[in-house]
Amino acid sequence: MVSRNTIVTTVIILLLLSVLFSGCTGKKNIAPAPDPIQKETVDVSSRNLTNSSKDENMPEIKITSFSSIYLHDNNEYIYLFGWENVPGNESRGLLNYLKNDLHIDWVENAQITRDDANKTIRVFTDENSIEIMRYNERSILKIGDIYDLWVREENGTHNVYDIKSGNKYDVLERYYAVYDLSIKNNGSDPLYFKLNDLRLHEGDRIFNTATLEPYGSSSLEVLHDLERENKLQDTILLPGQTVNGTVTFRVNSLYNESFLLIYNTTPVTSASFEKSIEALRTADHFNYATALGIPPYVNCHQRGEMTGSYVPFFDDYCDAWANWMNRSIFETFQKSDVERMQKSPPDNIPRIEMVYALRVIPERNITMSPVTKRFDMSHLLVTDDTGEEIINTSRIEGMAVMSNKTYTFKPQWNLNFPGMNFSNASVVRISFSGLYFASGRLSINNQDVIMDDKLNIIVVRNYPSQFIS
């Protein structure tokens, strides 16, 4: 009887001989190549599965509006404490400020608490109490008087600063880019949106999210609107859910077509953003004298009149204000204020502050309601086809509307423009504030510009304000 091992050995030998003999014929039995169509189908399927899985974890992000903001001042920003570290290891910074700067002696033996919502810090004794309340980018210190403090989020902590106005030659310039985004979860699973995964690229430079510093006056309409917008935060989006809000980046220049918003590693691109930059550039460099019929500057002896000059006076005895605003006028004020301040004597350095803010809402079907004079007030209301208000203001010094390639200008006492509809229009809002305190000059401008689908400026609303101490 042949053993089992002998049979197995025999079979193996026969198989080896078969292979050897087949190799001596000069022909090789090569396994046929896979069907190229089948291979491509497999690869594409595999790639699609990978991207599908990735896409389900990526939100759909759309840019609905964009703002570009410039600020400068010669104020001093004095660090007081980190909000999350009081009570705690930075309590002494808060108490020193209250005692040494505000001369509140009883705080030396006070207790400090912070509420569960992380919005209010209370400093108190049995007889006295102080509350500091945080509202986004600012905090309000209530004692008997009210003091504004500045809050800036840095490395996960809300740092609180006191602002000392003027009295130094150094000018701090800041640029901000603010995106209004619509973020939607198109996947079938909950999606965790992380704010810190948003970054702004400009060539080789990368900017992380920042906080747009507060501006105390509500007279600048662009900043006032942004202050009221929802600020994006980390959030979980359910399938099909959408969240809208703004995100801010501190950058190195005003608007720039090379700005590229990226979430994680995915660029957020859209034709509407490219058109936004075109609309901003058009509104920013337009000569509004052709629409409004007045020169850009009004000098001290011309205030209160619908007149002006093409040459500004910048002097401590006779200053200039802006009748309307564009990039050239902004840069003239910017250069003059800094140069004048730096030539001032050390014992009389003026306080200077400037804001230039532009906001664009591109490619909307909009309706401008009829503008008429009622009870000494004229109202401009512009809405899109969803009912969202794009412009809602009663502050109008004058308006110009183009018809047959000709602008018709009407002052505030004679506004009777009919309602109008515009398809695929863009709206640019411009706000400017220039303070030079030696002469007590404050020039404020708010403008609205409506463009048609070819970016022709067809409506201009203008509201300048001129203050002197």
For residue 99, what are the CA distances in angstroms to 111, 122, 409? 14, 15, 57
Band of residue 28 on the pLDDT scale cut at 50, 70, 90: very low
| Collapsed DSSP state (helix, strand, coil) of residue 25 | helix
Band of residue 1 on the pLDDT scale cut at 50, 70, 90: very low
| Collapsed DSSP state (helix, strand, coil) of residue 144 | coil
Residue 157: closest CA among 211, 207, 197, 223: 211
Last residue of one domain, picked from the residues 146, 164, 182: 164
Residues 128 and 277 both lie in one domain: no
**β-sheet with 111-114: strand ranges across:** 76-82, 157-164, 146-154, 138-142, 129-135, 120-124, 111-114
Residues 146 and 261 both lie in one domain: no
Residues 208 and 112 both lie in one domain: no
Residue 48 lies in a domain: no
What digits encode the pLDDT tens for the residues 109-123?
Answer: 899 999 888 889 999
The predicted pLDDT at position 49 comes to 27
What digits encode the pLDDT tens for the residues 61-105?
Answer: 999 999 999 999 998 888 999 999 999 999 999 999 999 988 999
Residue 238 lies in a domain: yes
The answer to whether the pTM exceeds 0.85 is: no
What digits encode the pLDDT tens for the residues 251-293?
Answer: 999 998 899 999 999 999 888 899 999 999 999 999 999 999 9
Residue 21 lies in a domain: no
What average pLDDT does range 139-159 have in this prediction? 72
Tokens of residue 163, six digits = 């602002």
Residues 313 and 352 both lie in one domain: yes
Residue 334 lies in a domain: yes
Residues 376 and 423 both lie in one domain: yes
**Tally of domains in the chain:** 2
Are 159 and 82 spatial neighbours (Cβ–Cβ below 8 Å)?
Answer: yes
Residue 235 lies in a domain: yes
R_g of the chain, CA atoms, integer Å: 32
Last residue of one domain, picked from the residues 142, 164, 186: 164
Residue 49 lies in a domain: no
Q: What domain range includes position 217?
A: 57-74+167-469
Residue 1 lies in a domain: no
Residues 357 and 239 both lie in one domain: yes
Count the helices and strands in the chain (H runs, E runs): 7, 29
Q: Which residue has the higher pLDDT, 377 or 45?
A: 377
Residues 294 and 331 both lie in one domain: yes
Residues 120 and 187 both lie in one domain: no
Last residue of one domain, picked from the residues 131, 164, 197: 164
DSSP states along 51-94: HHHHHHTS-EEEEEEEEEEEEEE--EEEEEEEGGGTTTTTHHHH
Are 291 and 282 spatial neighbours (Cβ–Cβ below 8 Å)?
Answer: no
Tokens of residue 79, six digits = 């660090």
The predicted pLDDT at position 90 comes to 92
What digits encode the pLDDT tens for the residues 176-199?
Answer: 999 999 999 999 999 999 999 999
Residue 227 lies in a domain: yes
Residues 194 and 333 both lie in one domain: yes
Residues 317 and 448 both lie in one domain: yes
Please name every residue paired with 81 in a beta bridge, in sequence order, or none if there are none. 160
3-state DSSP helix/strand/coil % of the chain, to nearest 5:
25, 45, 30
Are 393 and 332 spatial neighbours (Cβ–Cβ below 8 Å)?
Answer: no
What average pLDDT does range 418-446 have in this prediction? 94
Residue 232 clears pLDDT 90, i.e. is over it = yes
Residues 258 and 308 both lie in one domain: yes
How far is it, in rounded angstroms, from Cα 190 to Cα 235?
10
Residues 135 and 172 both lie in one domain: no
The predicted pLDDT at position 376 comes to 74
